[in-house]
Structure 1
Amino acid sequence: MNLKKYRESLIKVLSIEEKAEVLKSVESSNDNVEIWKSIKSRITEKKFEHELIELGYSYNEFNNIIQNTENLSDKIKEDLYELVVKQNWFELLTKICKFYESIDGDKIIYKKRNKSISDCFRLLTEWCIIEIEKNVSLNYIIIDNSIYNKIEDIISAELVNVSVKTIVYEYNETKKDRKKESGRYTIDNFVEEKFSTIEKFLDFFVEYPVLLRRIMQKVKNLVSYITEVLNNIDSEFKCIKEKYMINSNKLLAMEFGLGDSHNLGRTTVIINFEGVKLVYKPHSGELQNAYNEVLMWFNVHTKVLPFYITNDIYRKEYTICEFVEPDICNEKKEIERFYTRIGQQLAILYLIGASDMHCENIIAKGENPVIIDHETLFNNMKFLNDDKNAFDEVAEIIMESVINSGILSVDIKGIDYGALAQRSDDEKIKFWVCTNKDDENIYFEKLDVQLKKNNNLPLLKGKEIGKDGYENNILNGFKRVMECVCKEKESFIDLCKQFKKCEVRIVLQATQNYSELLQYASHPKYMCDMLSLEKLFENLWMQHGKQGRHYKYELMDMNNCDIPIFYAIVNNNSLFTSNRTELADYFSCSSWELFLNRLNNLENNYKLQYTLLQKQLGVLSEYIFEQNDIRSQRLYYNSNENFSLKEMLEYINEMVKSKIIIKNNTVSWINIEDSDKNFYAYTNYLNGTVAFAYYVLHCKKIGIEVDEVIENYAKIVLSMCMKKEKYTPVEYNTYYNGVVANLGLVCEYYERNSDIKVKEAIISMCMFIEAIHENDKEYSVLEMSSQIETLEKAFLLTRDFRIQSLCENIGEKIIKKLHKIGLENISSENFIGIGNVINSFRALSHISSENIFKQIYDELINYVLDDKKWNENGFIDGKNVYTCKDGSLQRLGEIIIAITEKDDKKYRYNEIIKKLVLENNISENDTVWNGETATLKYLIKYLNKINGKDIEVQNKIEKIVYDLYKGLKINGGFRVYDNNYWTSVNYKDGLLGVASALLDYYELSAKNLNM
């Protein structure tokens, strides 16, 4: 068959790298690069420049390579065609064409079989089986006849998967015309018309040459790999028979396509010899063997719960493993031991830097969690990078922590893939599915697809038992191993030296990213020209530090229909591609160096890892003390003793400095709030670095010296706020977080240090908030109210009337929402409360002449200061009661202080709140949100309001501050978010909140001395 007649179509299958050989120096008069960049992708101009560097082309060369081949001379087209002819997939296509010509001229009587899309590839699958049978050489095993039928089904399914969107599209387009002629047009008719001979088959792909290449690549990969597996099993059979006590040499079943396809179509295979199931893995077992040696060491030399060790055969190119069958537990104690072993495994996996241990990589064999995929031990994310910032540093700490193992929660698009993930019966995802309703109606529809349950969790009485309630078992198991290794550190390091020359897999991107892109790539519009496909794959571009060298090898693997895969040698800092090309000096250090660093700092690392583990399990103890701890009693107060405010602030300063991470003019720290899955301290107020900068400004305002280091950190935070252009989803635009918190800090700074650049930054941030509102961003009443509080200050400082107009627009939005939801539904969670709404309308009444704002302000005050809404516990707002215990009453009290005057009959509500606060029992913590310092801040505001003396209030203030001091002296810390290993420095529940209250106290004391 003369394939050259398809030349015009076939030259479109060449990739950019392949075409470069011919086209790099063929000048094009068009600006092809601009056309390329205009096609939608997530690549920015800067990223595109990096991409060209990594691909090794100049702008002009790339412009030439991607030019339209239709306009080329015949000579150049011939040169391109010669490149196609030399490719392996084309040689295979030629071979198949010759085969069918030789057996039946050029006409094959097509055998109908399934009456489905798979029939389109019957010519290929039949050839595959013939080729496999020809190349398999068996000396020891017998293959059951059904296996070849199964292999044919597997090959057919793989070919359908890569082409189904195009086939369905073409079938439905053809059906429109044919139905006009005959009235009925089935998939059988379509197969007969388009695929019944090899020539018809080729004609179909004239429009989709890229798909033809991908299909042939799939055929080549599958035939080669299936042949390889069968031959390896046969050559290994003597060992298999002896090790697994197999009585028959008859191979009864094979299951291909388990897991992702790598290295030219290689996947895990399950084989079955008369009831004995085994797993064939297409890679060396050296790493798995070394890990099992580590487990054996713990079993023999320590008192941890013994680990289950699989019985495997390790070879250089492949591994044959015991098939781990899930098993049940018979009693609760076995469940407890399962989770204790999970904790033990977590510790080992952390110590050797494992990652990607998701729910498909662990089998619950009774009380034993068994890892079945060890490729991603000794992970390395230390990329060469001169431009790292503080957030990169935090990311590296988390990436090298116990969290990164994958055992704990791994959220990918709202679905937990962690090894302890528990699937509910109704957990589904939307997925495009090819529906074959009958032989005439075939189409795609988006359906709810049930997520399959894995065998990762233990079973008791037929029910999966999740980790809830067994967190302490996990923590205890983790402790056991960490404590053992702390005692036997040198022995453990010696034991792990066997890993040094092992090859490990490096996961540069989530497999889900690759998989989804491959699925998307099967759309017909990408199957006509390789340029279209590679433009889609450009979305893969992700630079790791300074590294982008891996990108073209990702393209190579994706063009081969594989999930890209990369490797490293444990004691080497190079990255290796799927074809074992070495990218030298890819990492700043080797995995082995990371391991040694982890072990050498084990005592300090242990504290942080235990904290992160608690956080991830959702059991991080909020406060360090127990109920019988002396700090819970607060019996220290003695009016005759003195305390040192300076000592308390110095302690806070040192703790904050020890937690701060600073890099390239950015500041962050690790956030351990249990309620927040985020680990970064952003430029937020409640749980971020803005509160720290406020603290420093407050110190300077009232004349307290701060050391140079602390002051420099604060300046960096201010600079970050002024320069920031983007805000992450966790940075909500309220007073407490995000752009509004940043704006508040910049206003505070401008108030003390007038600077035109700072003023410009204030206006710019206000316009950013305006733009968000113009884009119809949906905000709650509380969020919008918080925005107005800060925007008022920005307007008064700048007198920019655009800000005044913005405030009025937001105010009108709030009024609409208030009419819709009612006042009683404002504070649904006692988080900020109605006080912020009152403050926003106070601000609007102040800066706007619109009467409606004053009317709403009065309504809100009357709503709050209504006897019917008060009882002996506090203020009742809808379903919520504002009480001292959760700090909400103190925060509301601060607002009421601000909106009432002594000669106002409503001032008496201040006395009600004061009485409730003074009568309140000892708080359970010292935080500014719902602890002792929340009360302290309120009482200080109260005293400032009356501008006089209240002995009872003064005594309470003195008692709180004295107790804080004695707590620090006796117990070495404050009762903030802490778990004995890691202290929160955040404002809401950490040290900065305590510091804020202490500064208020210092200010009050100075004022009283001057009175």
Structure 2
Amino acid sequence: MKQFNCEDAAWYRAASLMERIAVMSLEAPSNVELGRRRLQRWRMESPFTDEALFTERLARDGLNPDDFCYLLGQSAPQIPQIWLGELAAAYNNCGVEDITRLLSLQHPNLGLLNAIAPCIRQGMMQLRSGVDSLQNIPINISNIDSILLQGLPEQLLFMLHPTLVLELNVARLQGLLTGDTAEARFSSFVQRLQTVEVRLTLWQEYPVLARLIIEEIQRWVTTSLEFLQRLGDDWEEICRQFQPDNPGKLIKIQRGAGDSHHGGRSVFILEFESGWQLVYKPRSLAVDGHFQELLLWLNQQGTHPPFKTLQILNRGDYGWMEFVKAQKCTVPEEIERFYQRQGGYLALLYVLSATDFHFENLIAVGEHPMLIDLESLFHPRSHEATATVADTLDREMMADSVLRVGLLPQLVWGNTQAAGIDLSGLGGAAGQVTPERVPQLEKTGTDTMRIVRRQVVLAGSQNRPTLNDREVNVQAYTPAITQGFTDVYRTLLQHR
């Protein structure tokens, strides 16, 4: 059996620039021609085609172009890499393992995870070991894997697809697959990924991908244990604050309900046996809490329809938030008040220098638009040194207008073939077609699977109100939006 060798030069290719600089020696041998070729490839990538920007980037790491070229031509030095130890441990403890024995996920390409089955198993073992030391967690420990694994296999497949689709087609052309049908030959490829030799050969050819996979699984373990610890520590306070009616055990987690930050941490939507739901956010909710206080103050001052507030439990570096569920309107007056509130929000967010309030950052709850992501309040303005006078003027006009908030309809991502699409908080209608072609899998589950680029239809979100399950025309409510904006803006002016 092929042996795992941590000193193999192949793994050096996964070392980051900072890791290489840390052990760099200008006295070590370097292949000058190889370094020049690699440097040329770097310089072909934007924005490094710009000499000044490239030099500035190198200077941040204490390098000049000559040193960088010399570094690129060096062979593999001994660089301690934590991820490599994790990969070695997973590899040395693995056998011929079928991913379907680890995961119950229904996915046409699930078998491709055979390539990293030992890494997934190792991560699951580390998670279970960490859970053993936790207490007061409202969760059935026997179901811990199925609950916490939700979302991880799909993310790993997303990372693996480009490489494994290529390797699948290479294996087909080389005649390495068996079977009379395209589906059977795909199964043959999946079975090959269970063998130790094929796995090791694959990762030695793609060491950067191996590192990314290991680090993604480690982030999953770390963030999962951190979440469970926080849930256990706060459970009594959560029950006091939100007063759920006998919530029961945690049965489901929806990961990635927002952007990932700070080591892969993202928003979780939790569901309990009773159906009660709660939102976990791995960041301070101090701003969110103060925003609710501001809404309460506005409700006392103005003549506008009152804003609905959210329950929030801020715990410093993280917090818990009331789950918001979309609801329909049943009478036209509710639609009118919905858009009055949207106008009021537009005024408030404009004053708070907010941005990024697109269609995924608010939910229509009957006549109440609910803002569910307040990360972009008090957003600083940036200026590009290389921008033309016309570009600068255009950006400054946008920055000084209510368009900057992102609520008002506006087209983005336009090109010479399409005007663009509307992703605004008031827009974001379903059925829009992306101007650019995006990567999509085709012929999944066969040995001719490939990645193609094509336009996709957007599904929309829950930001637009409906009247008895029917869409309404936002343009018909322009006066309501204007009135809401005027009322709140005047109130803020009076009390500034």
1:39 deviation in Å? 2.8
**CA contact under 8 A between 1:458 and 1:464: conserved in structure 2?**
yes
Corresponding residue of 2:136: 139
1:151 deviation in Å? 3.3
Q: Distance in 2 between matches of 1:65 and 1:320?
A: 47
**CA contact under 8 A between 1:140 and 1:249: conserved in structure 2?**
no
Corresponding residue of 2:159: 162
Corresponding residue of 1:121: 116
Deviates more, 1:135-144 or 1:358-367: 135-144
Corresponding residue of 1:215: 213
1:148 deviation in Å? 2.2
Corresponding residue of 2:85: 91
2:391 maps to 1:403: no
Equivalent residue letter for 1:338: F
SS for the counterpart of 2:474 is: coil
Q: Distance in 2 between matches of 1:477 and 1:227?
A: 45
Change (3 A) 1:65 1:469: same
Change (3 A) 1:448 1:400: same
**CA contact under 8 A between 2:421 and 2:432: conserved in structure 1?**
no
Q: Distance in 2 between matches of 1:426 and 1:391?
A: 28
1:64 deviation in Å? 1.8
Q: Distance in 2 between matches of 1:388 and 1:180?
A: 56
Corresponding residue of 2:286: 286
**CA contact under 8 A between 2:150 and 2:255: conserved in structure 1?**
no
Corresponding residue of 2:18: 17
**CA contact under 8 A between 1:144 and 1:252: conserved in structure 2?**
no
Change (3 A) 1:140 1:177: closer
2:325 maps to 1:337: no
SS for the counterpart of 1:376 is: coil
Corresponding residue of 1:736: none
1:308 deviation in Å? 0.6
Change (3 A) 1:10 1:477: same
**CA contact under 8 A between 2:179 and 2:185: conserved in structure 1?**
no
Deviation string, structure 1 residues 663-692 (Cα, Å, up to 9, x no partner): xxxxxxxxxxxxxxxxxxxxxxxxxxxxxx
SS for the counterpart of 1:107 is: coil
SS for the counterpart of 1:317 is: coil
> TM-score when scaled to structure 1?
0.44
Equivalent in 439, 450, 456 of residue 449 of structure 1: 456
Equivalent residue letter for 1:35: Q
Deviation string, structure 1 residues 443-486 (Cα, Å, up to 9, x no partner): 22345533112110111021122421111111111111111122
1:240 deviation in Å? 1.8
SS for the counterpart of 2:369 is: strand
- Normalized per residue, the structure richer in helix is 1
Percent of residue pairs bearing the same amino acid type: 25
Deviation string, structure 1 residues 811-854 (Cα, Å, up to 9, x no partner): xxxxxxxxxxxxxxxxxxxxxxxxxxxxxxxxxxxxxxxxxxxx
Change (3 A) 1:472 1:128: same
SS for the counterpart of 2:151 is: helix
Q: Highest relative contact order (Cα 8 Å, sep 6+), 1 or 2?
A: 2
**CA contact under 8 A between 2:341 and 2:484: conserved in structure 1?**
yes
Deviation string, structure 1 residues 333-372 (Cα, Å, up to 9, x no partner): 1111111111111111111100111110011111111100
Q: How does 1:504-903 map to 2 (within 5 A)?
A: none
Deviation string, structure 1 residues 157-193 (Cα, Å, up to 9, x no partner): 1111111110111012112223587656633322332
Q: Size of the alignment, in residue pairs? A: 470
Change (3 A) 1:201 1:366: same
Change (3 A) 1:352 1:325: same
1:62 deviation in Å? 1.9
1:16 deviation in Å? 2.1
Q: Distance in 2 between matches of 1:171 and 1:486?
A: 64
Corresponding residue of 1:431: 438
Q: Distance in 1 between matches of 2:384 and 2:171?
A: 54
Change (3 A) 1:38 1:134: closer
SS for the counterpart of 1:205 is: helix
Change (3 A) 1:471 1:182: closer
SS for the counterpart of 1:450 is: coil
Q: Distance in 2 between matches of 1:188 and 1:304?
A: 62
SS for the counterpart of 1:291 is: helix
**CA contact under 8 A between 1:144 and 1:253: conserved in structure 2?**
no
**CA contact under 8 A between 1:313 and 1:320: conserved in structure 2?**
yes
2:427 maps to 1:421: yes
**CA contact under 8 A between 1:125 and 1:152: conserved in structure 2?**
no
1:97 deviation in Å? 3.8
Q: Distance in 1 between matches of 2:166 and 2:386?
A: 49
**CA contact under 8 A between 1:308 and 1:368: conserved in structure 2?**
yes
Change (3 A) 1:361 1:439: same
**CA contact under 8 A between 2:4 and 2:91: conserved in structure 1?**
no
2:146 maps to 1:149: yes
Root mean square deviation of aligned Cα: 2.8
Equivalent residue letter for 2:138: I
Equivalent residue letter for 1:92: E
Q: Distance in 2 between matches of 1:181 and 1:296?
A: 68
SS for the counterpart of 1:321 is: strand
2:405 maps to 1:372: no
Corresponding residue of 1:266: 265
2:66 maps to 1:63: no
Unaligned runs of 5+ in 2: 414-419
Corresponding residue of 2:416: none
Change (3 A) 1:390 1:445: closer
SS for the counterpart of 2:481 is: helix
Q: Distance in 1 between matches of 2:407 and 2:179?
A: 59
Corresponding residue of 1:486: 493
Corresponding residue of 1:954: none
**CA contact under 8 A between 1:24 and 1:62: conserved in structure 2?**
no
1:9 deviation in Å? 0.4
Q: Distance in 1 between matches of 2:404 and 2:304?
A: 23
Corresponding residue of 1:44: 50
Corresponding residue of 2:252: 253
Equivalent residue letter for 2:279: V
SS for the counterpart of 1:278 is: strand
Q: Distance in 1 between matches of 2:144 and 2:171?
A: 36
Q: Distance in 2 between matches of 1:138 and 1:193?
A: 42
Change (3 A) 1:157 1:181: closer
1:124 deviation in Å? 2.5
Change (3 A) 1:400 1:319: farther
Deviates more, 1:30-39 or 1:281-290: 30-39
**CA contact under 8 A between 1:121 and 1:159: conserved in structure 2?**
no
Change (3 A) 1:140 1:63: closer
> TM-score when scaled to structure 2?
0.86
Equivalent in 150, 169, 172 of residue 169 of structure 2: 172
